[in-house]
Each structure stands twice: as structure tokens, then as C-alpha cells.
Structure 1
Amino acid sequence: MAEEKKVLKFDEVAKHNVAKDCWLIISNKVYDLTPFMDEHPGGDEVLLAATGKDATNDFEDVGHSNSAREMMAQYYVGDIDESTVPVKRTYIPPVQGVKSPNTGSDIVVKILQFAVPILILGLAFAVRHFTKSKDQ
């Protein structure tokens, strides 16, 4: 007798949205990618950004290889109940108290968020200074 496929509701899948518990919906199938988080060539941030929605377009846009598609079978959990998937993505906050470690890219982003406005302000003062000196 064939095994019955597990059908999951979107709300249940959407709860799995942190690095230590990450599920994605791709082509109406649900995958538990938690064990793959450290191995994913694009980093865990890419996978986490695709939680809480149908990630099919995200997956297809990247152009994954055939071997990557074959690898997905080992992470298969079940099928998604399509009627429960919202048309528009709603924000699902991560579970409080569970944080991924900072990566190098996180630090670079924080530095840029601080440095860019200062550089723009400095540039504005320099332009003002030089245009004022020419007028005099």
C-alpha cells in the first residue's frame, strides 16, 4: 500500500523561520532545510529570507543545478495545502531569543549604515566650502 503524502498548512510551515528550524515551500512541496543551512552556497540569510512565503520564484530565479534539485528529495517533509498559502506575503517575526550568529556581511552592513551618511555629509560640506570660495 502506498504511503499517504503529508499535507501541511501554511501557518504551520511559516513557524519554521529561524536558522535552527528552517522550512521552505518550493513548487507546492515543503522542505526542512535546517540541516543544510551551513552548507548552502548562498548562505543561510538567503534561505531565511524565503521563509513565510512560497519560495518557488526565489528558487527558480537563482537557476539551481540538477544536482541541487535532486538533493532536495532528502529534505522533503510533505506537500503544502495550496488553499492556505496567502497570495501576498505577510511578515512573520522570528522567534524571540533565537538569533543567528553575526556574519561578516552583517558587520559590513552596519558599518556602511553608519559611514555612508557621514561621508555624504562630509561631501556636502566640501562642496559648500569650495563653491563659497569661488564666489568670493
Structure 2
Amino acid sequence: MGADDKVLGYDEVSLHNTSKDCWVIINAKAYDVTNFLDDHPGGGDVLLEAAGKDASEEFENAGHGSAARLMLDEYFVGEIDPSTKPSPKPAATAHLLSKEPKDDNAKSSGLLVKLLQFLLILGLAAGIHFFTKSSSKFEL
């Protein structure tokens, strides 16, 4: 990094989250992509969804090639200080610890799993019963 390079925090980048001021983080670097919104092949909405956030995973998953990576240089704002990365909020993961399903789909999935478990146990019991009855016929 040269003397001109800025070091930014995640909180600073998060302030740039509109169509008039759109920054994204990709691989620990901040980019001002405001002027690229209209030209982005996937549409400006894709960038706006990632505005003010770390979009590294989305960028990599989209399969951007070397041309896209070279274009990033044009929009470079600064390096990201990794120590400023926000930790996951407890509320975001609280539903994972809860025994109650989060939504109606999860409730119906839970009921389906319980029903399938019951049917499996019932089938095993019937199979054991059938096997023990039928094997006793063959005893001498």
C-alpha cells in the first residue's frame, strides 16, 4: 500500500448504500461503483443489494472473469481494515438456538419429519412382528 491508500472501516463503507452513493467491499477492498450502476451487465439492482456491504462472496459466485477484476481498479476507494468487521448480531442467530420453528414452512416441515419418523417406527415394528411370527413357523 502506498502513502495515498486509504484504510477504511466497514462502518464507513456501510454509509454508502444508495443509488447516488454506492460502495461495495470485494476481497477486503472498497469500491465506489455508483457510476457503474447503469452499465453493470447484471443490472444496477444487483449492486444496490450489496451497497454498503461485503459482496465478496456474491462477486466470486457470479464467476467474474479477469476483465471484471481489472475494471475494479477504476472504482477503487481504499483497503478495508479487517478488525472493523462487525460481528454477527445475536438476534440474527437466535432462531437457530430456538426449539420453535421460525416460520410456517419450518413448522410444516417439522410436522412432516415427525410423521415420517412415526411411520418408520410403525413400519419397523410391523416388520419385526411379521418376521418373528413367520420365523416361528419354520422352527422344528
TM, length-normalised to structure 1: 0.60
- Whether the 8 Å CA contact 1:25–1:56 is kept in 2: the answer is yes
- In structure 2, the partner of 1:3 is 3
How far is the alpha carbon of 1:3 from its aligned partner? 2.6
How far is the alpha carbon of 1:49 from its aligned partner? 0.9
Q: Which has the higher helix share?
A: 2
- In structure 1, the partner of 2:21 is 21
RMSD, aligned CA: 1.5
- In structure 1, the partner of 2:84 is 84
- In structure 2, the partner of 1:33 is 33
Provide closer, same or farther for how the CA distance between residues 87 and 41 of structure 1 changes in structure 2, counting only shifts above 3 A: farther
Q: Which structure: larger Rg?
A: 2
- Aligned counterparts of 2:33 and 2:52: Cα–Cα separation in 1: 14
SS of the equivalent of 2:48 reads helix
- Aligned counterparts of 2:25 and 2:5: Cα–Cα separation in 1: 15
Give ranges in structure 1 of 5+ residues lacking alignment: 90-136
Q: Deviations over 1:87-114 (max 9, x none)?
A: 438xxxxxxxxxxxxxxxxxxxxxxxxx
Q: Deviations over 1:20-74 (max 9, x none)?
A: 1000000000000011010001111111111232110010000002111101001
Provide closer, same or farther for how the CA distance between residues 87 and 53 of structure 1 changes in structure 2, counting only shifts above 3 A: farther
- How many residue pairs match? The answer is 88
- In structure 2, the partner of 1:44 is 44
